[in-house]
């Protein structure tokens, strides 16, 4: 029994050192901040782009509305540009976009910044999903006064896969909707040390239970 205790203690100590030496830092594998310069054909700080902007393909509606600075009354979450998918050219302004990324097997965090443009949650919605089978259709909505919020989902791929991110304007088709910025996918490494650490803790727990039982029966 003494040998087993020493062995477990050693394993825990090694694991703790490994975690301290190599923190599990996320690596960005995809990023779109919508900062690609626009032609600004409207000459007032915004444009509707179709069929492609920063790798995003327009899949429905008139296009991706890119806004500079505080057009629409709100600054971008980061940088100088944000986008709106309830685009322009009423009455069919709600638009959608998609982009595919090749990912290796692993665990990832998908995130983006969202802000509702108006005071009406029924017109500010943005739907999103990740094909195929990674993330079902999900809706985010809010109002301007909520401020920018970061939406985040963790997912794991058992094998390498091409995934497709989809975003679409949801709600009243009225040229005003939700803002998007900083769409990102980060690899979340699970270092072997964490697994070893977990196994060691599990082993100690098992040992503790064994000891308790032994004491009770003694």
> Where in 8-27 is the site for Ca ion (CB under 5 A)?
none
State the nearest-atom distance from the C-beta of 83 to Ca ion, in Å: 8
Q: Is 125 helix (H, G, I), strand (E, B) or coil?
A: strand
> Where in 93-112 is the site for Ca ion (CB under 5 A)?
none
Distances (CA, A) of 40 to 43, 46, 185, 191: 5, 6, 29, 46
Q: Which of 200, 210, 207, 195 is nearest to 9 (CA)?
A: 200
- DSSP of 48-65, one letter per residue? EE-SEETTEEEEESS-EE
- Pattern of binders to Ca ion over 114-143, x per CB under 5 A? ---------x--------------------
Span interacting with Ca ion, options 52-60, 78-86, 105-113, 139-147, rule CB under 5 A: 78-86
Q: How far apart are CA 17 and CA 154, in angstroms?
A: 27
**Both tokens assigned to 143:** 């109002």
Q: Find the binder of Ca ion among 51, 55, 69, 79 (CB under 5 A).
A: 79
Span interacting with Ca ion, options 1-9, 28-36, 127-135, 189-197, rule CB under 5 A: 28-36
State the nearest-atom distance from the C-beta of 173 to Ca ion, in Å: 6
| Contact present, 41 and 48 (Cβ < 8 Å) | no
Q: Is 139 helix (H, G, I), strand (E, B) or coil?
A: strand
Q: Find the binder of Ca ion among 33, 61, 127, 142 (CB under 5 A).
A: 33
Number of shown-chain residues binding Ca ion (CB under 5 A):
17
Sequence-ordered alpha helix ranges (H) in the chain:
2-21, 192-217
Binding status of residue 75 toward Ca ion by CB under 5 A: no
> Where in 180-199 is the site for Ca ion (CB under 5 A)?
181
**Where does this chain bind Ca ion (CB under 5 A)?**
33-34, 65, 76, 78-79, 81, 84, 86, 88, 123, 171-172, 174-175, 177, 181
């Amino acid at each position: 029994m003494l040998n087993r205790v020493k062995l477990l203690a050693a394993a825990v100590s090694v694991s703790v050192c490994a975690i301290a030496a190599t923190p599990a830092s996320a690596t960005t594998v995809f990023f779109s901040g919508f900062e690609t310069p626009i032609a600004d054909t409207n000459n007032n700080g915004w444009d509707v782009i179709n069929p492609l902007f920063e790798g995003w393909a327009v899949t429905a509606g008139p296009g991706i509305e890119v806004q500079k600075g505080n057009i629409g009354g709100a600054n971008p979450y980061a940088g100088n540009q944000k986008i709106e998918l309830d685009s322009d050219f009423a009455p069919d302004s709600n638009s959608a976009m998609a982009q595919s990324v090749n990912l290796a097997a692993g665990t990832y965090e998908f995130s983006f910044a969202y802000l509702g443009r108006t005071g009406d949650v029924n017109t500010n919605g943005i739907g999103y999903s990740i094909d195929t089978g990674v993330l079902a259709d999900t809706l985010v909505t809010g109002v301007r006064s909520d401020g920018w919020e970061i939406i985040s989902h963790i997912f794991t791929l058992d094998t390498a896969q091409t995934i497709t991110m989809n975003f679409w304007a949801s709600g009243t088709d009225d040229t005003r909707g939700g803002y998007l910025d900083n769409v990102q996918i980060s690899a979340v490494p699970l270092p072997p040390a964490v697994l070893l650490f977990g196994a060691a803790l599990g082993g100690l727990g098992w040992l503790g239970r064994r000891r308790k039982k032994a004491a009770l029966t003694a």
